[in-house]
Amino acid sequence: MAENPITALMNPSSIAFVGASNNFTTMGTLQCLNLSTCGYTGEILPVHPRESTVLGKKAYGAIADLPYAPDLAVLVVPTPLVLDMVEEFGKLGTRRMVIITAGFRETGVQGGLMEKALIDRARHHGIRFLGPNCLGIVNTHLPLNITVAPIQDHRGKLGLASQSGTYVAQVVTYLHKNGIVLSKAISVGNEADINLIDCIEYLGADDHTRAIGLYIEGIRDASRFLDVASRVSRIKPIVAQYVGGTEAGARSSSSHTGAMAGPSHLYEALFEQAGIIPVESIEEVYKVGWALATQPPLKGRRIAVLTNSGGPGTAIASTCNKVGLEVPEFSMEMQRQVSVFLPGHASPRNPIDLTFHVDMKALTEEIPKVLFSCDEVDGIIIHGIMDTGFMELLYPLISSVASITREDFIKMMTIGLDKLPAMPDHYGKPLLISSFFGKEDHCIRTFHENHIPTFDAPEKAARAMGAFLGHLRIRQRSHVETRHNGKPLEAAVRILEKARLDGIDEFGAKELLRVYGVPSTREALAGTLEETRLKASEIGFPVVLKVCSPAIAHKTELGLVHLNLKDQDELAAAYQAIRARDQHSPLLVSEMLVGDRELMAGMTRHPGFPPCVVFGLGGVFTEALDDISMRLAPLTRHDALEMMDGIASRLVLDDYRGMRRVDREALGDILMALGRLAIHFPQIREIDLNPIIVREGKPFVADALVVV
């Protein structure tokens, strides 16, 4: 594998900076100022047409004046200057650039053309670049920071790639308050060259990055995204927020980065299939990402909840259950072990509620040790550890009645907290902390220093633990199978060749599906009443009679479908009824398949995405129930099985009210076949199998629509 283009970009030993001056109210100057003061040890070469020094450094009058080709060039200049400067750096020999300047594709057609020219120019010189319209990069391990805001914390573990610059450049204080430390952060801007997928690949291979957070407004190459993210997510947790799935979100993202958004459920499917943990806010990208980056993975779903307060304990337990975690009642033996450290009325059952008391040792050391070392618990959430945050509040009151200095009082009340932070790694179980205090509390500061994640509301800690469960499920996926397509089957090629002009009717659609192993109703074409009678007796009554023409949609509503014809008389009557409305179309005589459930499967295409296979309940209510699952082709068997578990009404597929469990292998074959068909034949625009009738557990396609 070729070296990822970002590696060199994130680790330059020299940087040319064009667009900084000595006026510190401009963005370029602020960025260069950050670069100069962040601890970066490489050489910084400002370029400025008039100033001889910029921010105390020697400035070069033009790019051509630079003494050598720097590893990286940063542009924060007016839009019309960008192209020429890229050309100049190309000639100089620089091969990596960060283009902060905006005004390209995100502004419309003309900007789009300019962006195209920019790409061509860069390619011509073998330049790989980030942006345009981005806010820079951060590498806290080098260190390197070319964003507008100084970095407060270094050598972190969470890698970030974002389609919004703000989430890289404007959250320094926020992250610091929350004890979150980034490893690398990349604002990708318009992704004219280097894109978000490159970032995932880079962060996946980066040793300092232990989890990845993504902010996504739209993905252009879902196929490669799926490929790269699936590989990375087996090794590192990836958390992502997608915001382009609503009308206003799509409109906004298009004028923001020109990203191509798609419906939310498409992205849900993409994330699911790629092993990405979806979140609903940027807060969770950071906080859940940080938790996953710092804590050992969860090995099971049993969570211990320890608090000194019933409300947070109940809220954590309840939220754990909601996200699929268990908060099991402890064994009597465990309860006995825990009870030793509890005051009179406190509950040892799990949640453990110490109730209000001032001594913190049980909460910070004694009980955690029991929980970490036992084999009834996979992860631990603690609420209520605090010292100086509360004591600072109390001191003014205490000092009004006792003569003690603030320092002595705070010191007296400060907790050691020297054992707990080491427990997660020692015992290999994740620990999450909930507290209404922040860094004003010494305990919270201690947790932050030790990279133990803290949450400012009980429910948030529980939801973050839910993400650990999500990651566990991803790790447990069977990854032995690879997605393979094989070659288009000859018989199918012939059917589709024939359908090129007139489209493909139901009979042809089912023939095509049969070539790919999809079982359907036995049936035959007929024209005259005599033919119809003959075919019906060959197939055996009861039968279905319907017109068979790619040109006629909504056959049922038009009265062109007659079900459950029991004998030749009923058949003849149906024939006459159809012919009264349609004199010429061929007719399809099918066996009347009576099953106990109706399912549906299909294939749709979306720009920028691989073919999308869908599955759900069938019949006329498919649309109203809107209970479908999706995967992108090609599908592995694992994907197909996950699709079946992905519908809310999955109970229907089991032994349900006396019905036989659906043959999941057979159903999986149908779903995988749809994926293969879609990949083999790009001319197929859409497939709709509805209903798929389940008879004695076996699925049979009763109606099929293939649009070419």
Looking at residues 516 to 545 of the shown chain, list those that interact with its own copies (rule: CB under 8 A). Answer: none
Q: Rule CB under 8 A: is residue 136 a binding residue for its own copies?
A: no
Q: Rule CB under 8 A: is residue 408 a binding residue for its own copies?
A: no
Cis peptide before 143 (omega within 30 of 0): yes
Q: Rule CB under 8 A: is residue 315 a binding residue for its own copies?
A: yes
Q: Rule CB under 8 A: is residue 405 a binding residue for its own copies?
A: no
**Closest approach of Cβ 636 to its own copies, in Å?**
26
DSSP state of 217: S
**Closest approach of Cβ 596 to its own copies, in Å?**
8
Kindly identify the residues of this chain, within the stretch 561-600, that bind its own copies according to CB under 8 A.
Answer: none
Cβ neighbors of 12 (< 8 A, separation 6 or more) are: 42, 70, 71, 72, 96, 144
Report the C-alpha gap between 280 and 380 in whole angstroms.
24
Please identify, among the stretches 414-422, 526-534, 569-577, 654-662, the one whose residues bind its own copies according to the rule CB under 8 A. Answer: 654-662
Q: Rule CB under 8 A: is residue 199 a binding residue for its own copies?
A: no
Cβ neighbors of 208 (< 8 A, separation 6 or more) are: 141, 155, 156, 157, 159, 183, 184
Q: Is the dihedral of CA 655, 656, 658, 660 positive or negative?
A: negative
Q: Is the dihedral of CA 60, 61, 65, 66 positive or negative?
A: positive
CB of 186 or CB of 495, closer to its own copies: 186
Q: What is the token pair recorded at 395?
A: 């001191």
**Closest approach of Cβ 506 to its own copies, in Å?**
19
Tell me which residue of 451, 182, 176, 444 sits closest to 295, measured CA to CA.
Answer: 451
CB of 209 or CB of 257, closer to its own copies: 257
Binding residue for its own copies (CB under 8 A) from 10, 102, 269, 545?
Answer: 102
Q: Rule CB under 8 A: is residue 332 a binding residue for its own copies?
A: no
Q: Rule CB under 8 A: is residue 244 a binding residue for its own copies?
A: yes
Q: Rule CB under 8 A: is residue 553 a binding residue for its own copies?
A: no
Please identify, among the stretches 326-334, 494-502, 570-578, 638-646, the one whose residues bind its own copies according to the rule CB under 8 A. Answer: 326-334
**Residue pointed to by tokens 């401009």:** 26
Report the C-alpha gap between 49 and 70 in whole angstroms.
18
Q: Rule CB under 8 A: is residue 148 a binding residue for its own copies?
A: yes
Residue type, 46: P
Strands 14-18 and 72-75: parallel
Q: Rule CB under 8 A: is residue 255 a binding residue for its own copies?
A: yes
Kindly identify the residues of this chain, within the stretch 106-125, that bind its own copies according to CB under 8 A.
Answer: 106-107
Kindly identify the residues of this chain, within the stretch 628-647, that bind its own copies according to CB under 8 A.
Answer: none
Q: Rule CB under 8 A: is residue 655 a binding residue for its own copies?
A: no
**Closest approach of Cβ 237 to its own copies, in Å?**
20
CB of 395 or CB of 609, closer to its own copies: 395
Q: Rule CB under 8 A: is residue 241 a binding residue for its own copies?
A: yes
CB of 396 or CB of 486, closer to its own copies: 396
Kindly identify the residues of this chain, within the stretch 469-498, that bind its own copies according to CB under 8 A.
Answer: none
SS3 for 700?
A: strand
* One-letter-per-residue 3-state SS of 586-626: CEEEEECCCCCEEEEEEEECCCCCCCEEEEEECCCCHHHHC
**Closest approach of Cβ 633 to its own copies, in Å?**
27
How far out from the chain centre does Cα 177 lie?
26
Cis peptide before 691 (omega within 30 of 0): yes
**Closest approach of Cβ 303 to its own copies, in Å?**
9
Please identify, among the stretches 88-96, 159-167, 526-534, 580-588, the one whose residues bind its own copies according to the rule CB under 8 A. Answer: 159-167
Binding residue for its own copies (CB under 8 A) from 165, 368, 379, 668?
Answer: 165
CB of 7 or CB of 152, closer to its own copies: 152
Q: Rule CB under 8 A: is residue 440 a binding residue for its own copies?
A: yes
Q: What is the token pair recorded at 617?
A: 């309940």
Residue type, 659: M
Phi, psi of 396, rounded to the nearest 5 degrees:
-55, -35
DSSP readout, 386-448?
A: -SHHHHHHHHHHHHHHS---HHHHHHHH-----SGGGHHHHHT--EEEE-S--TTSHHHHHHH
Cis peptide before 550 (omega within 30 of 0): no
CB of 410 or CB of 534, closer to its own copies: 410
Q: Rule CB under 8 A: is residue 656 a binding residue for its own copies?
A: yes
In contact, 586 and 549? CB cutoff 8 Å: yes
CB of 164 or CB of 209, closer to its own copies: 164
**Closest approach of Cβ 27 to its own copies, in Å?**
6
Binding residue for its own copies (CB under 8 A) from 43, 459, 570, 663?
Answer: 459
Phi, psi of 578, rounded to the nearest 5 degrees:
-65, -45
Q: Rule CB under 8 A: is residue 73 a binding residue for its own copies?
A: no
Binding residue for its own copies (CB under 8 A) from 11, 309, 450, 568?
Answer: 309
Q: Rule CB under 8 A: is residue 22 a binding residue for its own copies?
A: yes
Q: Is the dihedral of CA 279, 468, 380, 318 positive or negative?
A: positive
Q: Rule CB under 8 A: is residue 158 a binding residue for its own copies?
A: no
Cβ atoms within 10 Å, residue 582: 15
Q: What is the token pair recorded at 270?
A: 């993409």
Binding residue for its own copies (CB under 8 A) from 300, 438, 503, 519?
Answer: 438
Q: Rule CB under 8 A: is residue 278 a binding residue for its own copies?
A: no
Binding residue for its own copies (CB under 8 A) from 69, 534, 625, 705?
Answer: 625
Binding residue for its own copies (CB under 8 A) from 327, 628, 684, 694?
Answer: 327
CB burial readout 196-233, b (16+ within 10 A) else e:
bbbbbbbbbbbebbbbbbbbbbbbbbbbbbbbbbbebb
Please identify, among the stretches 290-298, 323-331, 417-425, 443-451, the one whose residues bind its own copies according to the rule CB under 8 A. Answer: 323-331
Q: Rule CB under 8 A: is residue 667 a binding residue for its own copies?
A: no
Binding residue for its own copies (CB under 8 A) from 120, 280, 567, 645?
Answer: 280
Q: What angle do helix axes 458-475 and 310-322 make, rounded to 10 degrees? A: 30
SS3 for 186?
A: strand
Question: In terms of residues, how long is the chain?
Answer: 708
Binding residue for its own copies (CB under 8 A) from 11, 14, 347, 568?
Answer: 347
**Closest approach of Cβ 486 to its own copies, in Å?**
35
Cβ atoms within 10 Å, residue 698: 14
Q: Rule CB under 8 A: is residue 398 a binding residue for its own copies?
A: yes
Q: Rule CB under 8 A: is residue 247 a binding residue for its own copies?
A: yes
Report the C-alpha gap between 316 and 404 in whole angstroms.
38
Q: What is the token pair recorded at 701?
A: 């396609």
Q: Rule CB under 8 A: is residue 317 a binding residue for its own copies?
A: yes
**Closest approach of Cβ 350 to its own copies, in Å?**
8
Binding residue for its own copies (CB under 8 A) from 41, 109, 126, 344?
Answer: 344
**Closest approach of Cβ 468 to its own copies, in Å?**
17
Binding residue for its own copies (CB under 8 A) from 1, 402, 480, 501?
Answer: 402
Kindly identify the residues of this chain, within the stretch 45-64, that bind its own copies according to CB under 8 A.
Answer: 55-56
∠469-473-475 over CA atoms, to 5°?
A: 110
Kindly identify the residues of this chain, within the stretch 359-388, that bind its own copies according to CB under 8 A.
Answer: 384
